[in-house]
Amino acid sequence: MSAQDVDIYYGEFRAVTGVDLDFGKNEITALIGPSGCGKSTLLRSLNRMNDLVEGARVEGKVMFLDQDIYAKGVDPIEVRRRIGMVFQKPNPFPKSIYDNIAYGPRVTGMKVDSMDDLVEEALTRAALWGEVKDKLKQSAFGLSGGQQQRLCIARTIAVEPDVILMDEPCSALDPIATMRIEDLMRELRDDYTIVIVTHNMQQAARVADRTAFFTALADETSGDRTGVLVEYGQTSQIFENPRDQRTEDYISGRFG
């Protein structure tokens, strides 16, 4: 998947400018940078989630399997099935654990031999099966925050996406639940391409194969701040040997 010369607007305001970025297949890419530099905005553009935001508009291309997901005739629902998203706050449906997983395959009309097997498989891959297998009919709200987030990951996996976008998936979780999600991400990488927005630089350093650092620059004419990609590379290079002074200032805590 790649972003090609992507600009993203909210009305007249250009929140993100000129992003070119390749997301490696079966890799974890972390998007980092100070608050307001457009990380979440960019992430949401990668599966057309911005279509649902009033006034949001994307220019440029987001290529996925040789097709621009913004091209005419592309079904945004299908895009979001292939490119799933996990949000900052766990947001299970007000349904049973089982139905949280079964919902996506049902509404997308997936051909499923055995829904029970599909539910077990998704929960197993999200490292949650052992904890919930005896209470599948209970409400998802009875789970802990970390379990709810793994349920949301299982729900995303259930519709067989190729890419999983994660917007600060651990920011509402305690350190132990965070570690479990990070372990899970490393396991899922073998089968999925993952893009994660994180404020936690240690997290980026721990899980990401590649890291993209963004900052917000003031537009010369309007004075508005717009998000730009500063530097992108192997995570070890970004953290140990950044090429741009702004990256170095950020990762060393001098800025942001």
Ligand X SMILES: Nc1ncnc2c1ncn2[C@@H]1O[C@H](COP(=O)(O)OP(=O)(O)OP(=O)(O)O)[C@@H](O)[C@H]1O
* 3-state SS string for the chain: CEEEEEEEEECCEEEEEEEEEECCCCCEEEEECCCCCCHHHHHHHCCCHHHHCCCEEEEEEEEECCEECCCCCCCHHHHHHHEEEECCCCCCCCCEHHHHHHHHHHHCCCCCCCHHHHHHHHHHHCCCHHHHCCCCCCEHHHCCHHHHHHHHHHHHHHCCCCEEEEECCCCCCCHHHHHHHHHHHHHHCCCCEEEEECCCHHHHHHHCCEEEEEEEEECCCCCCEEEEEEEEEEHHHHHHCCCCHHHHHHHCCCCC
Minimal distance in Å, beta carbon 149 to ligand X? 17
Q: Could you say which of 41, 47, 100, 215 contacts ligand X (CB under 6 A)?
A: 41
Q: Does 114 bind ligand X (CB under 6 A)?
A: no
Site string for ligand X, 138-177 (x = CB under 6 A): ----------------------------------------
Q: Does 37 bind ligand X (CB under 6 A)?
A: yes
Q: Does 15 bind ligand X (CB under 6 A)?
A: yes
Q: Does 38 bind ligand X (CB under 6 A)?
A: yes
Q: Could you say which of 29, 40, 149, 156 contacts ligand X (CB under 6 A)?
A: 40
Which of 9, 98 has the CB closer to ligand X? 9
Site string for ligand X, 172-211 (x = CB under 6 A): ----------------------------------------
Which of 88, 96 has the CB closer to ligand X? 88
Q: Which stretch binds ligand X (CB under 6 A): 29-37, 101-109, 137-145, 157-165?
A: 29-37
Q: Does 49 bind ligand X (CB under 6 A)?
A: no
From residue 156, alpha-carbon distances to 20, 33, 146 in Å are 26, 26, 15
Q: Does 87 bind ligand X (CB under 6 A)?
A: no
Please give the radius of gyration of the chain, using alpha carbons only, rounded to the nearest integer.
19
Q: Could you say which of 7, 18, 27, 36 contacts ligand X (CB under 6 A)?
A: 36
Q: Does 35 bind ligand X (CB under 6 A)?
A: yes
Q: Are 44 and 53 in contact (CB under 8 A)?
A: yes
Minimal distance in Å, beta carbon 8 to ligand X? 8
Which of 214, 239 has the CB closer to ligand X? 214
Interface residues with ligand X (CB under 6 A) are 10, 15, 35-41, 53, 227
